[in-house]
A = this chain, B = another copy of it.
Amino acid sequence: MSSTESTYNLLIAELKEIAVFGSVNSLLNWDERTQMPPRASAYRAEQLSAMAKLLHQRFTAPRIGEWLSQLEAGPLDADATVNVRETRREYDRAVKIPESLVQEEARVSVLSQQAWATARKNSDFAAFAPWLEKILPLKLQRAACLGSSARPYDALLDEFEPGETAANVAKTFESLRDPLVELIGRIKDSPNKPPVEILHRRYPAAAQELLSREAAKAVGFDFEAGRLDVSVHPFCSGIGPSDTRMTTRYNENHFGDAFFGVLHETGHGMYNQGLKAEHFGTPLGSAISLGIHESQSRMWENLVGRSRSFWTHFMPRARELFPEAFNGVGDDQWYRAINAVRPSFIRVESDEATYNLHILLRFELEQAMMSQSLSVADLPGAWNEKMKKYFGITPPDAAHGVLQDIHWSFGAIGYFPTYTLGNLYAAQFFETARAELGDLDSQFAKGDFAPLLGWLQRKIHQQGQRYSAGQLVKEVTGKSLSAEPLLRHLRKKAAEIYGI
């Protein structure tokens, strides 16, 4: 074995051992949000803080830097090149963050999440504000450690979407915004309203859970290697190889929150399950970015899950499970109802089109908070103002407004834009899949989702971090990221649903 090979083996073994502790950390997080007794949160903060310290110590050990330097002198094969390149990127970031900050972030974010959950339940922004006041300086401190000349916001965004900048995101979003606002305007003016009241009938939670599980399984989620639970805020966690856990929440007076939520998390889950297990813990076995992750969830939720052909397959079962709600509902009415475009308060329950305005709002507010031009005290007002501006509506309370999302409570600032990036990636990937895989709709109508999933596994999941997000889009679709595929998709839907 050459000295390069043996150094590489040392690095990989160490990364995999660190990943074991990382996966334990993920389990602590999952447990905290789904299982943990309420009074255990203070000690959970200690546990997470100790694990964060351990992880940080192990990953920033000088020997990793030394191994990387040796390996960078080469020669390396293609796989090793990826693992070394991406480990270097992570390593260089990690060594800039002091251990004390890592621990403090871990500790505060657990307590803050608990405070948020209670504050959201009581719709009480004042109860959460002091925690956000603690979170923001920690994030500014992190950005200061990471960034040299970069804007603080960019330093944080880069952690979720490597290589992205606020300026570049803003440019992409702009090419989407005006056509989108124009389209939503025309939809609003259309007299042709879908029968959305169908969705507000009574849908018993047990039957919702059953249909959600059946759909997740049918599209390809492996329940032998995963779970579905209930949590305040839905999420999906890839805890380890063969251990992917997703959550949802049931609203018995609305079809969709849970069902499309589960399809969404299933998309994330299948990305995790599609990563190569033998590379777990190394860049080749890791997801590229949150935007690419989101492209998988949004594809299954919207491009597949809200398609007519998907429901050709699932309608009979849905009618069986919800005989009362579906009484007198035709296939076409159902299809129109689940594709209605309407202003709404809650991001995760919003439609494909307006969703992106929810993101724009958060993207603008969190940039303002990071540049310190918006104070925590002024945040609820700023939120409501933007709701008025983009949607023409005002949230009835903080739970339907500024408190709805968990992200800021655990310090995830710079995270939201990856959601709209995900929508854009998804639409562009899906156009290519359609072109390469023949008649996807007739496959979906037969309940056959394997060709699409297999294509995503080969083209995306199994590649790990071989490519950057931008490179991957080019590699898979032959073109750079553009807003056009999403706009084409939304316009086609609008034509079908609203006759415009």
Contact A240:B21 (CB < 8 A) given known A31-B31, A225-B40, A227-B37: no
Residues of A219-266 at the interface with B, using a CB-CB cut-off of 8 Å, are 222-227, 239-245
Does A181 reach chain B (CB closer than 8 Å)? no
B17, B40, B239: the one within 8 Å of A242 (CB): B40
Q: How far is the CA of A225 from the CA of B43 in the complex (A)?
A: 11
Which residues from chain B contact A222 at a C-beta distance below 8 Å? 39
- Asked if B24 and A24 sit within 8 Å, CB to CB, the answer is yes
CB distance from A462 to the nearest CB of B (A): 18
A59 to chain B, nearest CB (A): 15
Determine whether the beta carbon of A17 is less than 8 Å from that of B50. yes
Copies of the chain in the assembly: 2
A51 interface contact, C-beta 8 A? yes
A500 proximal to B (CB < 8 A) = no
**A20-B46 CB under 8 A given contacts A28-B27, A31-B31:** yes
Tell me the complex Cα distance, A23–B48, Å.
11
Taking a contact as CB atoms under 8 Å apart, the answer to whether A28 and B24 are in contact is yes
Closest-CB distance, A49 to chain B (whole angstroms): 8
| Residues from chain B with Cβ under 8 Å of A31 in the complex | 27, 31
Given known A27-B28, A43-B243, A240-B47, contact A35–B35 (CB-CB < 8 A) = yes
A185 within 8 A of B: no
Q: How large is the interface on A (under 10, 10 to 19, 20 to 34, 35 or more residues)?
A: 35 or more
In Å, the complex CA distance between A241 and B222 comes to 35
- Determine whether the beta carbon of A43 is less than 8 Å from that of B241: yes
Assess whether A38 is interfacial by the CB under 8 Å rule. Answer: yes
- Residue A450 CB within 8 A of the other chain: no
CB distance from A113 to the nearest CB of B (A): 16
Smallest CB separation, A117 vs chain B (Å): 14
Which chain A residues (2-47) contact chain B, with CB distance < 8 Å? 17, 20-21, 23-24, 27-28, 31, 35-40, 42-44, 46-47
Set of chain B residues within 8 Å of A241, measured between Cβ atoms: 40, 43
Q: Which of B27, B38, B43, B244 contacts A224 (CB 8 A)?
A: B38
What are the residues of chain B within 8 A of A27 when measuring CB–CB?
Answer: 27-28, 31, 47
Give the residue of B23, B223, B245 whose beta carbon is less than 8 angstroms from that of A43: B23
What CA separation (Å) do A240 and B48 show in the bound complex?
Answer: 13
Q: Give me the 10 closest cross-chain CB pairs, A-B, nearest first.
A: A40-B243, A39-B242, A39-B225, A43-B240, A20-B50, A40-B242, A39-B224, A37-B225, A38-B224, A43-B241
Can you list 28 A-B pairs, Cβ within 8 angstroms, ordered by A? A20-B46, A20-B50, A23-B43, A24-B24, A24-B50, A27-B27, A27-B28, A27-B47, A36-B243, A37-B223, A37-B225, A37-B226, A37-B227, A37-B243, A37-B244, A38-B224, A38-B225, A39-B222, A39-B224, A39-B225, A39-B242, A39-B243, A43-B240, A43-B242, A43-B280, A44-B240, A44-B243, A47-B240
